[in-house]
Amino acid sequence: MKLPKSFYTRPDVVQVAQELLGKYLFTNINGILTGGMIVETEAYSGENDQACHAHLNRRTQRTEIMYHEGGVAYVYLVYGIYHLFNIITNRQDSADAVLVRAIEPQEGIEEMLLRRNMAIPKPNLTAGPGVMSVALGINKKLYGADLTGDTVWLEDRGTPIASADIATGPRIGIDYAGEDAQLPWRFWLKGNKWVSRKR
DNA sequence: TGGCTGATGCGA
DNA sequence: CGCATCAGCCAA
């Protein structure tokens, strides 16, 4: 079942980030279906989060979509190379987002291997936000895409995730965020080999 | 096995 | 100028 808009418009981005574990992320790029189960996420909490692009209500052409009502995609380029895929949550004018960092491949594995220039599936096929986007064909064309649409969307396939299966830790690559760098807002499935880092 | 570094676009 | 990254290199 495709996740409805009401899943994304809820106010607690940390809770949504945890609940996204075990959900499925799919893209249909030029008729080619790829996707898999989300195994790693990070929560970014709007204007009050020093790690968030919308910290202090920063509003630019890039961050504008973060202020949209939940249920759309925020895609941006980092290090001049990788497109990172984020899910916008909460109500309009709140700039909360969840970064999806890794999936366990499920659909279209052959196509993902082609896009990644790999011969056989290994965990680094989709472990890490940059390479995951390569595998799924995600780029800035998906900036602002409706997550209840037919190009990029999420599904609940009934995979049960107990809170005991979820590990937490500080978010990766945000040392500049002061005390917020220590917030335990990275979530991953314990023991899952498709997660980007053990700790 | 682990640390360093180059590649590279763009927001501030 | 430095970044919500990754892979390839080299030393051990």
Residue whose CA lies closest to nucleotide C5 C1': A130
Burial track A99-125 (b if 16+ CB lie within 10 A, e otherwise): bbbbbbbbebbebbbebbeeeeeeeeb
Tell me, in Å, how far CA of A82 is from C1' of B9? 10
Neighbours of A1 (CB within 10 A): 8
Domain extent, residue A125, equals 5-189
A198 located within any domain: no
Q: How far is CA A131 from CA A17, A40, A63, in A?
A: 20, 13, 22
Gap between the Cα atoms of A27 and A106, Å rounded? 12
Residue A117, domain member (yes or no): yes
Number of domains in chain A: 1
CA of A42: nucleotide with nearest C1'? C4
Strand C close to A50 by CB, under 7 A: no
Model pLDDT for residues A179-194, shown as the tens digit of each residue = 999 999 999 999 999 9
Q: What's the mean per-residue pLDDT of chain A?
A: 96
- Report if CB A161 to strand C is under 7 Å: no
Say which CATH number the domain at A98 has: 3.10.300.10
For nucleotide B7, give the residue with the nearest CA to its C1'.
Answer: A81
Q: Give the confidence band of A111 by pLDDT, cuts at 50, 70, 90.
A: very high
d(CA A36, CA A104): 5
pLDDT tens profile A42-82: 999 999 999 999 999 999 999 999 999 999 999 999 999 99
